[in-house]
Amino acid sequence: MRILHTMLRVGDLDRSLAFYVDVLGMKLLRKSDYPSGEFTLAFVGYGEESETAVIELTHNWGKSSYTLGDAFGHVALGVDDIQATCARIRERGGKITREPGPMKHGTTVIAFVEDPDGYKIELIEKR
């Protein structure tokens, strides 16, 4: 078994694709409309679905926002240079919500960025 994808519901698919593709550098792997169900699925990631876990962005037509709740935490991405990654994200219009630094009670260097729907993306600097 392996993890295939994580699904996030988004209010504006074009805005979310711009964030995940243009700001975070993922690739749009596939996108499909489902008129009878009134939703669109877009899969984004850093590699092919056959080899790595990806993110499924689900846009329910006619729904522009969601209550995120307090059960969801974040999606984590490993990065080589957290300072350079945060600088690139900022240059591309991304919102850093926690500047790079060691995590509480540890030494791992992390930062957080927020997507257009308010989902948190944790950046973890690889050792």
Q: Spell out the SS3 assignment of the chain.
A: CCCCEEEEECCCHHHHHHHHHHHCCCEEEEEEEECCCCEEEEEEECCCCCCCCEEEEEEECCCCCCCCCCCCCCEEEEECCHHHHHHHHHHCCCEEEEEEEECCCCCCEEEEEECCCCCEEEEEECC
Q: Determine which one of 51, 91, 99, 122 is catalytic.
A: 122
Q: Is 122 a known active-site residue?
A: yes
Please list the active-site residues.
122
